[in-house]
Amino acid sequence: MSILLTTSQGVATAPSTQVSGASKPVGRVAAAVEHCGNVATQLSPPQNTDEYRSPFQRVGAFRGERPNLAQALVKAPEKVGCVPSDEMVLLSGQAKPASASPISIQTLFALQQTRVDTAALVLGQLGKDPTALKHISEQLQASCLKDDRAATKAELKAAKCLDKDIIELVASHLQRPGITSKAVMREAMAAILSARQALINGNVWNKVETSFEHNNQRYACTMIPAAQMKLGDKDIFPVSYRGHGVSSSSTREIAHATNLWTSEIRAQGHNGQELTLFKGVRHGTLSPYGLEKADEQRHAGAQNRAREVVAAALFARPELLRLALAGDVVPLQLVSTSLLTGGFGGEGDMLNDQIGAWKALCQARPLVLSLMGGDGKQHTVRVNLEVAAFNFGVNEFALKFHFGHTQADCHNTIALHQLLGEDLRRSVSPGGWVGEYLNRDPKPANAKRVELLSDQLKAVWAAKAHNRDGKEPYKAAQRAAMLAFEIGAVPCWNCKSGKDRTGMLDVELKREAVALHQNRGLIAPGSRLTKDQQRLLQQALLHGGNSEVQAYNTGAPGNKVMKDVPAFGLSYRSRVGDDEVWNKAQGLSRLV
């Protein structure tokens, strides 16, 4: 099959393509090449319509007529040039994730290219010829170089079909005697998920720099992935990331933490220097939950992940890291705020793994870690680690159906006593870490914030307000993390993946940090946001760096928290207060 591509110079001819396993070019793939990009094409007509039939129709459970693969690929702009390469080139390896609008046609092209690249990788691993898919990928890549526009509803709807079509394509090459169609589809899905994870983790993960303005003040946000946590040319971890990522889909990973980043927001100070308003560490669950519960590797992996979070916390505190590398035993307090929902989707077991990992690390006095120094050599560092480990469920199952509160609050009670002392009455001055901090005579403004945050967290706990939406799903988690930062501890927060619920807490933390910087004061828990506060939330939501983190993990930006659940939904749509912002933040999350 030859393809004629309209270019600015004239007509270019792409090489003939054929997928192994079909005697003629595959029907849906051929049609996709013909129509992808809305380009002029010239295809040789099939000699035999039976031979030209799509392999999708030969999979037992999928013999019915369905739209072809081309209909699942959005149409690209006219005058698309072909990328001259015999090898598949990944867009994600050349461009920054989420550089376009979260619901732009360019973003949709990028996601579709990732899907096609995944199928091509699987076919290659099966010993089949992925050439046709590679050329679709090249056309999608070329399309991404053209002008951007908003994706239409029809294009988004059509794109949903692509995953199913790709699964069927892979399944057609796995079909063999004695294996049911259902089993083949499971094999195909497993192969695709594995290949997708390999592609995403194989990308270079770079620092994310974003900024926004609120009330004529500019704020800079920086997210640093584990691969870029460097003192010299190498990252600080004993098992190097080599510039790549470990995405949220790495459920069996035991050497590295998943989706590990530092996150900070800064403002321009009066003297021209930047002022850090908030800084912490975000990550996925410490549990390698893809392994069996009884597997010793699961527990060892959770501890390895926890060690990397500790290393990232030291990286977030350069003064402590310097002392540790110089040989000092350094104290390190972490406030871990997990957002899992016990009793649902295995998240209760994940929480147990995470709490167990923190306990194991804290029992070592000191905890001994290996880190790479700026000299390129491995150093042994010693840390007296203390962790106050919270868990506040923040999704619909936790706040509407009340899953997981008993399990979580057992841990929360212990963590609150560490942070605020044994007596949690609001009339009693804070004890614990907060009391120790206040006894060191901090600056009056800081002491006032610490006292107010402590009082608010006590009030939330006393009213059990963290167990319901109350117009602010993240009320307890946000205040625990902010209180940690204010007293010099390192806030760490996570959900299962480290991108959706974790991302929303990141947004709320940045919103409150900016509000404090602008002397707006801490709002009372559960208060309805004013118009100005909503505008600030919208800025942090769209420009705080979370869309980029989501794209690194899935191939497309978009937060799954942004969903409408009739009768049982949370208050986030009204809290955001703008449907356009809501839709942009939702992005392509429904497709990943």
Task: List active site positions.
Answer: 495
Of 402, 401, 432, which Cα lies nearest the Cα of 418?
Answer: 432
| Helix %, strand %, coil % of the chain (to 5) | 45, 15, 40
DSSP state of 226: G
CB 108 within 8 A of CB 151: yes
Q: Which residue has the tokens 């978009």?
A: 558
Token pair, residue 375, equals 């000299």
Q: Which helix (H) or strand (E) holds 379?
A: strand 378-391
- Please, what sign has the CA dihedral across residues 26, 28, 31, 37? negative
Angle, CA of 367, 495 and 420, to the nearest 5°: 60
CB 399 within 8 A of CB 469: yes
What span, in angstroms and rounded, lies between the C-alpha atoms of 49 and 24? 10
Alpha carbon distances (Å) from 304 to 31, 225, 252, 258, 353: 48, 17, 12, 11, 12
Token pair, residue 182, equals 């259902």
Q: Would strands 329-338 and 490-494 be described as parallel, antiparallel, or unpaired? A: parallel
Q: Who's near 307: CB < 8 A, 6+ residues apart?
A: 361, 367, 369
Chain-centroid distance, C-alpha 188: 24
What span, in angstroms and rounded, lies between the C-alpha atoms of 383 and 388? 16
